[in-house]
A and B are shown apart, each in its own frame.
Chain A
Amino acid sequence: MRMTTKELAITATKARLLILEGVHAAKAGHPGGSLSCVDALTTLYFDEMDVDPAAPRKAERDRFVLSKGHCAPALYAVLALRGFFPTEDMKLLRSIKAHYSGHPDMAHVPGVDMSTGSLGQGISAAVGMALAAKTTKAGWRTYAILGDGEIEEGQVWEAFMAAAKWKLDNLCAFIDVNGLQIDGATANVMPSEPLDKKMEAFNWNVLTVDGHDYEAIRAALKTVRETKGKPTVILMKTTKGKGVSYMENQAGWHGKAPNDEQYEQAVKELNARLAELEG
């Protein structure tokens, strides 16, 4: 363990502030899903993964693929806090002045292991990474986060089959089950439940956690490391827009930036949470 639960909570709250700062500055972006997956991302980068901001491309590092690439603000925020680039750069989200594109760009942003954004493609690359590690007998591990809307893409299930075929126990995929996508509830747009049974049927090790409970995520990741012969999926139940009262469970905040007033309120709420944690 590299961080206490309280430290993780503080870091994730700072990441939430950066997400809002970036999306507000860009006047565009995807706050809802970024806020739902940022606790898992924080736990991965600060407590679990072996990465080195001073050597972002070193061969022997753990890999992460944000398959739901539109949640780039969350990835950039966590990478910045982890030291891959300055947190001030969040103001350059989606700006022509830099390369913090609307979707992660591995060619230009330090710490990004795979360019993603077209849904369904990231998980295949993650399978390829895990397979490469097996092929070269390397010890590093691969993690990915998918959206529960994203898994409507058929390619995702091709990747799930392949990961089980090659017994990729060095691969761990999170599915961010926030229940909402652009057009509304996933249960209405395209029902995917029962996800646990589907993933079991695809021969994956299945864990279910509260995606905002750092202890639960940490415990699940420990189980992942101990699981042999199967890839693991962590189904994390989350709240879209988590941490900003007016965004929570609102599909409308999938891909919309807050105006100045809304931004101020979000900052106020998150700063209050930060003060409470740090107090």
Chain B
Amino acid sequence: MAEKKATRAAYGEALAELGAKYPQLVVLDADLSAATMTGAFAKAFPERFFDCGIAEANMTGIAAGMATAGLKPFTNTFAIFAAGRAYEQVRNSIAYPGMNVTVVGSHGGPSVGEDGATHQMMEDLALMRAVPGMTVVNPCDAYEMRQAVEALILHEGPAYLRMCRYASETVTDAIPGYQFALGKGVVLREGGDLSIVATGITVQMALAAAEALAAEGISARVIDIHTVKPLDEELILRAAEETGAVLTVEEASVIGGLGGAVAEFLGEHRPVPVLRHGVPDAFGRSGTAAQVLDYFGLNPAGIAEKARRLLKLK
């Protein structure tokens, strides 16, 4: 059994590990270092850690300024503030001038749980994806996250990295010689009846759903799309051609995120039935993470149910 770890925990470890290798890396936080897991980096590299206080707009602008001088800033706060409150700073101060900054939004999606609707960021993938030139990354597990962090340090340009609070089991470490590459999706399970294209912690749910569907004689391909933008169009196109139906799954709004990206792309290039599974056009609510995920059907049973519906559209 693989380890169970939140992607934010792996992120914090990766930052602290990579700090020595990349002297240009600077880390900014907005009074949430215990939650965003930047504390280990702060301890190891205090001269390159900047706590900006509860002022996300300013933190975002400071990162832009630091990037102009050749540093590589990672800004850290909850997704709701990173992509929501500071949206326009990300757009105008980071993305428009093409700054080499990674904006990290932790605690994305309904799996935030108890804090409720104000802190459950559903639309970050949609908002960040709509910004010209942004790379949008949402790793599914700790193993993938470690590699994603290094890839983003080396990436030149604006990027958004989403992570979440919910601990999920590691699956990508089971792939022999797994090499994370920005913009390249990963086929985790082969299948011919439909493709389940998932991102973030819903990848593990999709794998469990595929297992349940297999017991019913349905063969589902499972694809991990850790990079929502740029979308791995080649892989999505192949999935549509070979399986004839695509189900997208994300712990985010069905409007404009992975589901939006896949539906837009396939609608223009290879129209096949597509269903988008995720948070509907709704705010979240309090509850344990599992309860809130269940509330939105973000679990293997919910995904399998959508898959059955999708097959009827073929």
Give the interface of A toward B (CB within 8 A).
59, 63, 65, 105-107, 113-115, 117-118, 120-133, 135-136, 138, 142, 154-155, 158-159, 161-162, 165-166
Contacts and interface: CB of A to CB of B under 8 A. Distances in A.
B89 A124 contact: yes
The 9 closest A-B pairs by CB, nearest first: A128-B65, A124-B61, A158-B58, A132-B69, A125-B65, A128-B62, A158-B55, A129-B65, A115-B97
Contacts of B88: 118
B61 A121 contact: yes
A162 B97 contact: no
Contacts of A130: 65
Contacts of B92: 115, 117-118, 121
A113 B48 CA distance: 23
Contact of A161 (B53, B67, B68): B53
Interface residues of B, number: 29
Do most interface residues of chain A lie in helix, strand or loop, or is the interface mixed? Answer: helix
Interface string B70-97: 1101000000000000001100110011
Contacts of B70: 59, 132, 136
Given A106-B97, A107-B98, A115-B96, A129 B89 contact: no
16 contacts: A115-B92, A115-B97, A118-B92, A120-B57, A121-B89, A123-B61, A127-B58, A128-B65, A128-B67, A129-B66, A129-B69, A131-B50, A142-B65, A159-B61, A161-B55, A162-B58
B206 interface: no
B142 interface: no
A171 to B, nearest CB: 10
A187 B63 CA distance: 33
Contacts of A155: 55, 57-58, 61, 89
Contacts of A114: 64-65, 68, 97
Contacts of B64: 114, 124-125, 128
Contacts of A135: 26, 47-48, 66, 71
B71 A136 contact: yes
A105, A117, A124, A155: most-surrounded residue (chain B CB, <10 A): A124
Contact of B62 (A59, A120, A125): A125
Contacts of B61: 121-125, 127-128, 155, 159
A128 B26 CA distance: 11
B52 interface: yes
